[in-house]
Amino acid sequence: MAYIPPADRKFYDADLETLHDGVPAWMMTPLMQWLEPFLEVTDDLGERYPNVEFIERLEMNCRLRAPLNRSRPIADLQSLIEDDPSFGIRVIEYVIGTFLIIDNPPHHRGNGHLAPLQQILADSGSVWEVTALDVKDGYEGQKHLVLTRRDLAETKLAITDIRAQSDRAGSFLADAWKAIAAQDPRPGEAYDKAVKAIEAAAQPVVTPHDTQATLGKIIAAMRDKPSKWTFALGDLGTVIAMMDQVWTNHFRHGTQQRDDHTPQEADTAVHLAPPLVRFFVGALIQPAQQ
């Protein structure tokens, strides 16, 4: 947390403090202390040795152009992070990805390492936090850990609530969130999943006899005869406009001039999708009584 002069503290809101990407200077010492047990091991006589197996895997995974100095791997790694603060985030994600495959939190392997790291990230005002995601095609309850953006955490909570009402639409939203919140975002996938989530929520309400209806068809039906549905706030115009913005900006065909969505476009679509989905799955938009 940044230092706030005493005279200004009555105006300070911790929730509004700017989040920091990469590894800022004030995070360096605690982070290197956290990484130390992975880079070096101690034998029964108290002698310290480089953890060569771990270091070699780290070098390969992070694509280091030159190997770490085996006699001083911690100092060498710190120098690399100081030169490129974003590299430190890649190191963290590699480490949590190797030693934390969890079954039933909090009784999972590596729990003793996770809590201190979460605290370091939070205390440093990092934009990143550790998130447990389901392992696809894995055992039930099995998860893996990744870094996700803290500033998208509220969206994640909203999606969790939506999944309780509609698992299909909620699952698409969860996939969209994972794709945009990750360290290496996939904006095209995030945008596509956001569109699918809206389609999954709206289709049973707007086009119940057309299970293959695209968002475009759904929008056209609502725009053509808006009186067929009621909205808790009255006029459907705002809802249709929101849906139309998502749809018309969606790159659906390979013949379009641009290759993919920008992160900003995907971020916007992923934030617009949850309220739209909730309007339909929460019965805030319903067929009008005939």
Q: Structural domain boundaries of the chain?
A: 19-126, 151-290
170 sits in which H/E element? helix 167-181
In the prediction, which pLDDT does 141 show? 55
Q: Among the ranges 43-47, 164-168, 179-183, 226-230, which has the highest mean pLDDT value?
A: 226-230
Tokens standing for residue 284: 């805030």
7-19 pLDDT, tens digit each: 454 444 444 456 7
**Residues of the chain with pLDDT > 90: what percent?**
40
Whole-angstrom Cα distance, residue 39 to residue 148? 24
Q: Does the pLDDT value for residue 180 go beyond 80?
A: yes
CATH of domain 151-290: 1.20.120
Report the pLDDT averaged over residues 108-128. Answer: 80
230 sits in which H/E element? strand 229-231
Specify the higher pLDDT residue, 263 or 220: 220
DSSP annotation of 66 reads S
Please give the mean pLDDT across all residues of the chain.
82
In the prediction, which pLDDT does 290 show? 62
Report the pLDDT averaged over residues 45-65. Answer: 89
In the prediction, which pLDDT does 111 show? 55
Whole-angstrom Cα distance, residue 15 to residue 13? 5
Report the pLDDT averaged over residues 119-147. Answer: 76
DSSP annotation of 162 reads H
